[in-house]
Every structure is written in C-alpha cells, then in structure tokens.
Amino acid sequence: MSGTATFVLHTHLPYCRLAGRWPHGEEWIHEALLECYLPLIGAFRRLSKTVDGSLGVTINITPILAEQLRDPLVVQHFREYLADRIGRAERDTHRFTTGPRADTARFHLARYTEVQRLFEDDLRGNVLGAFAALEDSGSIEIASCAATHGYLPLLADDDAVRFQIETGVQSHVANFGRPPRSFWLPECAYRPGLERFLEEAGIRAFFVETHLVTGGTARGKALGGMVGPYPPLDSTSRRPAEAGAHRGSTFRPYWVGESRVAAMARNEQTGLQVWSAAHGYPGDEWYREFHKKDSESGLHYWRVTGRETGLGAKAEYEPARASAAAQRQASHFRDLLKRELFLYENGAREHGNLVSSYDTELYGHWWLEGVEWLEAVISLVAKDPDVTLATAEAVVRDDPPNASIDLPEGSWGAGGDHRTWSNDQTAWTWPEIHRRQQRAHALLANETPATRQLARELLLLQSSDWQFLMTTGQAHDYAVERFNSHAARFDAIANAIESGDPGFANELVQLEHLDNPFPDIDPRSFAGRPQGAFAR
C-alpha cells in the first residue's frame, strides 16, 4: 500500500440571511444549495451504496453557514429560488427546440428538477440532517470551524478567540448531534497558541496551508491565480512571505507544540491541479463557461472553449463532452494521487497521507462538472488496492503523528500572511472590533435576552468575510455596510444594557429577528477569563 488519501472540503458563506438578494446577499446560499451542497449530498449518497466504508471526505461546514441552512426563512427562500430556476429552464426548453442549446436547456432542467426531488422527497428539506446521516453511516466526517469564521490571529483577545471556538463547537453539536474532532481554522489563519484553545474544545486535528509546515515562501492558494472568487494579486500582494525554516512534510500530520492537536497541510500538487485557473481541470475547453449567461434566462449555454478565448467567441456547451472530460480527468487525478504517495513512500520509507483540500463552492458553482469529477475520483480510488480513503479524524486516530512541529504565523491569503485581512482598506475595522470586545467583558457577565443578542452581534462583527470582501473589491460597499450594521446593533444593545432602558424591548425583538443564529448561545462563557497570549 502506498498510503491514505483525505479529501477536505471547506464549506462556508458569509452571514447573509435577510441581507438582500442579488447581486449580494442570501442568494449566495440559494446558489450554493442548488449547485454545490445538494449535488454533493446526492453524490455522497450514491457513493455510500457502492463504496465499502469511508469515502475519505472530511467536510467542514462552518457554524454560521449551518445556522443559516437550517433557518426556516432561508429554506423557504431557497424553495422560491429553485422554483424560479426550474421555470427559467422550462421556458428555455420551449425557446430552444433544436441544436446544442436545446440539449443544454433540457440538461439544466433535468439537473434542477433532480435537486428539487432530492431536497423535497428524500431529504424533506433537511440538508444538515442529510450530512449528519452520512457521518453516522461512516461515509464522511463533518469538521467544525469558529462560530462566524472570525480571523482568530487578529482578534487580539483570548476570550474572543475562545468564544468563537466554543460557540462554533456548541453549534456543531446542536446541528449534527456529535462533537467535532477536526477543525478548519478560518482562512487557514494560524498564530502560535491557537492549538491550546482547540485542545480545550476537544479538537484533534486542524488544517493549515502548505508553507506553514514545509517552510519557505508562501505558495499554492497564497500565490493567487485560482478558480473562483479570487481576483489576480497585484505586485504588492505577490511579495513573498518567508514562513521560517520548518521542514515538515504535507504527507504527515504533526502534533503542534506541546499539544496533542495535529496539524494537517494541503498537498501542493493535487491542490494546484484543481485550483489553478491556468493549469487546473476547470479550464478544460469542454467545461461550462461560468462567466457568460443567456441574456433572457440567465442560464449558461457556452463552454470554456479556450483559456484565452473572449466571451464573445465562446463555443456552445455540450454536456456529454463535458461529462467525458470529467471522467477522463478523474482517472488522471487518481494516477497523480498515487504517484505523489508512491514518491513519498519511496523516499521516506513510510506510508503517507495525502490531504487534498478545496473550497466546497468550487464544485458545481464555479466548476459545474466538479461534483461529477469528485464522485468519479472517489469511486476510482476506493477500488484501488494501493490507496485507502480516510477522514482526517481516522488518520490521526489510526496513524497518529510521530513528531511535533512549531508552526509560524500565516494563512492561505496573499503572501501567506495576514495582509489580505489587515491592510490599508481594512485597518480601520480592527480597532472597532477590539473596542467592542473590551466593552463586552463588562457586559456579558449575565444571561439575558439582551446579552445573548449582544454576543451574537459581536460574533457577526468578527467575521473575516467583511475584510476579505473589502480587500478583493468583489463587494466592498456591501461588506462595509454589513460590518457597520453589526457594529451599530452591538452599540445600541450595549447602550440599552448600560442605561437600563426599558423601552428597548421592542427594538431588541426586531434585532433578534434579523440576526438569529446560535439560539443556545451562552454570553457568560465570553467573560471572566484572564487575557493572555493574544492580547497586544
């Protein structure tokens, strides 16, 4: 045997419940459900019937996303969105009656109606329950994350870090019925000492970027040029960040410092084969072109055609050709995975574990054929006698680390450091967060409806999504407005608590309706602990 393989899928979207629809807002979730999450559930359910044992998938579903996926309003709005997409596809089947577009219109209609059947008939609208059932059966592992995907190294407050982690773990237990054992650090952002908070929370493994384990300059996702919502990096962003003289391998987990929490790093070659916009699979000529849509229905009828082909020159999409490409490239990936494991085993004289980690939203949304590709890869690897599919938890449990490592600070972002979240465009946000964290120490000692809502607003303010959207420019004004709105809501509640304003009750009810995640949140767990390593 050459080793084990683990697929890690990071599933996250910003908090956008009741925050508008297109182009920014709740439709992010509706799109992801239709194109990514439900198709993946379908694929995993099919694989569970043919693969004996684990699929080797560890899927992180961030707590703030899980809270939204179970929300009745979000579910109802998704039903409306899905019905609209089906209606658009049906009208297109009448508008296009011959030729490639007729075939593609029927293809879109078939996949939309299948998602509707799965969601309504098989799952009864319970997406989280479907993932939990797959974990209960031993097919997958569900990992957790910080509550609202807060950028932990820059919170500068031990209590704030612990509260993000503990609230995330509590939400995970409530939503999936069991405590998590693996943890996705938001933005893969690490700072020495984080492992002790994870260990306190019962976590056994977390995931980091390649350069934090292998040393040298940042690479992989940190270099940019990726498929998905990642714009090209400018010359300043391309300045390398030296990660230190660490010489670990991505083929082994390591205990971090003195803890018994393991770090697992992304394999570079399998990552680039999928993520790279220049060399990865999603750029294949036969795959659906994401950026060109029909002017009437908004559906996609064109293919990539060529990496340098302008939108006006794109050729017609052919679903059968795209499917054949996905199957072909699944076989190529299986061979690449085996080669990577063989080379490690041959050099190190020990079996390795290969971690292939990606954003879940790549599969089906940015790369339409990605779900079919992943299903085919898992099916092929499961049949291969040289590779064993294993979740992150199983790797650390069954083949635990035999060495420790001291990791440097870093993230997956530009340059491998914190600059994507801390720069000229976002520097103003951090004092705003820190000031409210300090204020929270005095206000969250009791559990009342007001303090519970104050804790929610603080967590939502801390989300790393706001700085990311500001930096990348994808939704700068939207992110500023969302950040400021949570700050203003925090301040209004804090002022009412301090003044004892009895007239604030009606406004509090409105805020509880707007921002309702983490129904079991305990604000008292934030305060009362001494500040330490993260205070500056």
Enumerate the active-site residues.
187, 359
The closest alpha carbon to 281, from 230, 324, 333, belongs to: 333
Q: What is the DSSP secondary structure assignment for residue 354, as one 8-state letter?
A: E
- What does the buried/exposed string (b/e) look like for 341-352 if buried means 16 or more CB atoms within 10 Å of the residue's CB? beebbeeeeebb
The secondary structure of 193-258 as a DSSP string is THHHHHHHTT--EEEE-HHHHH-SB--GGGG--BSSS-PPP-TTTTS--B--S----TTS-EEETT
Tell me how far apart the alpha carbons of residues 90 and 278 are, in angstroms, rounded to a whole number: 35
**C-beta separation of 390 from 7 below 8 A:** no
The CA-based dihedral angle spanning residues 196, 197, 199, 202, taken in that order and rounded to the nearest 10 degrees: 170
CA–CA distances in Å: residue 103 to residues 29, 84, 108: 28, 20, 9
SS3 (DSSP) at 21: coil
Q: What angle do CA 348, 351, 356 make, to 5 degrees?
A: 105
Tell me how far apart the alpha carbons of residues 31 and 197 are, in angstroms, rounded to a whole number: 34
Beta bridge partners of 288: 303
**C-beta separation of 524 from 445 below 8 A:** yes
